[in-house]
Amino acid sequence: AKAHGRSCFRYFSDELTRAAEQRLDLEVRLQRALRLNELCLYFQPQIDISSNRIIGAEALVRWQDPAHGLISPAQFIPVAEETGLIKQLGEWVLLEACRQGKEWQQKGLPAINLAVNISPVQFRNSNILESVFNALKQTGYPASLLELELTESALMTHENEAVEILSALRKYGIRLAIDDFGTGYSSLAYLKRFPLDVLKIDKSFVDDIPHKKDDMEIAAAIVAMAHTLRLKVLAEGVETEEQLTFLKEQGCDCYQGYLMSPPVPADQFEQLLRAQAED
């Protein structure tokens, strides 16, 4: 039993070492990617449900690694958060989103709202006001067309400080959205303390429409309660007409999802905007 225990331990520690090595490797490669500009942004349209028109886009980071191909943010954002690289990465995303937005504006495309994800670690540990103002100043992109997506966990740790930061951003004309709503611990009553504009219903409540009654009731309740707080509601991960119909019936304002389009590279998003401008 002893020998078995020892080999078990060795197996386990080898596994740990391998995991640590892989993470270190990823960290070093990510650092390099930032330096060599191997990251890019994809854009997913946000649709106004009543007019069925694109009114915005969420910017989503992608890593085109020459050796490993396209790496998903779900893989490298957590590493960036743990190593502190998220500050640099987050600043790059803000700057690049504003740069792209400005370019579209200069090309005469219809004005849309660009939504940028802010990691809770980035929100807590870096000067987010400075990063945002700097990106706007450097690019000339208007604050009124920028939206920041924050999660519940970003707001919950230092509540008073968070309220102050959000108020300063909002005063400047930036819109604020709460992302993945329903997956954290906060209630809508709690959200009332924060100066928010948009609530994004998490995809997990949309996935089983129209098959799961309780998810449908939750989605409906979120829409109704968000409206009493004067928040605009956007549903995430809408993939079917049935889901959209149900959300529309509930009075949901906007949606994002594969039904309209997955996240696409900037030039493809531009085509979507142009096609819409023509009709």
For 180, the enclosing helix (H) or strand (E) is strand 175-181
Q: Which residues bind ligand C2E (CB under 6 A)?
A: 44, 60-61, 72-74, 77, 90, 93, 117, 119, 179-180, 237-239, 256-258, 263
For 181, the enclosing helix (H) or strand (E) is strand 175-181
List the single partner that 257 binds among ligand C2E, Ca ion, none, CB under 5 to 8 Å by kind: ligand C2E
List the single partner that 258 binds among Ca ion, ligand C2E, none, CB under 5 to 8 Å by kind: ligand C2E
How far is 92 from 89, CA to CA, in rounded Å? 5
Q: What is the dihedral of CA 197, 236, 26, 135, to 10 degrees?
A: -30
* Cβ neighbours of 157 (radius 10 Å): 11
CB closer to ligand C2E, 100 vs 119: 119
Partners of residue 178 on adjacent β-strands: 150, 199
List the single partner that 39 binds among ligand C2E, Ca ion, none, CB under 5 to 8 Å by kind: none
CB closer to Ca ion, 44 vs 131: 44
CB of 5 to ligand C2E, least distance (A): 40
CB closer to ligand C2E, 44 vs 131: 44
CB closer to ligand C2E, 76 vs 194: 76
Cα three-residue angle 235-236-238, rounded to 5 degrees:
90
Q: Which of 108, 116, 111, 109 is nearest to 142 (CA)?
A: 111
CB closer to Ca ion, 87 vs 263: 263
List the single partner that 77 binds among Ca ion, ligand C2E, none, CB under 5 to 8 Å by kind: ligand C2E
CB of 116 to Ca ion, least distance (A): 9
CB of 239 to ligand C2E, least distance (A): 4
How far is 205 from 248, CA to CA, in rounded Å? 15
CB of 154 to Ca ion, least distance (A): 12
Q: Which residues bind Ca ion (CB under 5 A)?
A: 117, 149, 179-180, 236
E strand intervals along 15-79: 39-48, 53-65, 69-71
CB closer to ligand C2E, 12 vs 93: 93
List the single partner that 263 binds among Ca ion, ligand C2E, none, CB under 5 to 8 Å by kind: ligand C2E
CB of 140 to ligand C2E, least distance (A): 21
Q: Are 121 and 81 in contact (CB under 8 A)?
A: yes
CB closer to Ca ion, 29 vs 89: 89
DSSP 63-123: EEETTTEEE-HHHHHHHHHHHSTHHHHHHHHHHHHHHHHHHHHHTTPPP-EEEEE--HHHH
List the single partner that 237 binds among Ca ion, ligand C2E, none, CB under 5 to 8 Å by kind: ligand C2E
The distance in angstroms from the start CA to the end CA of the chain is: 75
